Homo-oligomer: A and B are copies of this chain.
Amino acid sequence: MTRKTIIGVIGPGEQATEHDLQNAYQLGYLIAQQGWLLLTGGRNVGVMETANQGAKVAQGLTIGILPSNDTSGVSAAVDIAIVTDMGNARNNINVLSSDVVIACGMGAGTASEIALAIKSDKLVILLNNDINSQDFFQKLAPQNVYIAASVSDAIALTKNILFNS
Contacts and interface: CB of A to CB of B under 8 A. Distances in A.
A84 B70 CA distance: 18
Given A92-B89, A112-B112, A80 B63 contact: yes
A55 to B, nearest CB: 10
Contact of A85 (B74, B78, B96, B140): B96
Q: Label chain A's interface by main secondary structure.
A: mixed
Contact of A76 (B2, B4, B56, B120): B2
Contacts of A97: 81-83
A26 interface: no
A141 B109 CA distance: 12
Nearest to A6: B80
Q: Chain copies in the assembly?
A: 4
Contact of A120 (B80, B84, B88): B88
A54 to B, nearest CB: 13
A45 interface: no
A80 B37 contact: yes
Interface of A: 1-4, 6, 37, 56, 62-63, 65, 69-71, 74, 76-93, 96-97, 106-109, 111-112, 115-116, 118-120, 132-133, 135-136, 139-141
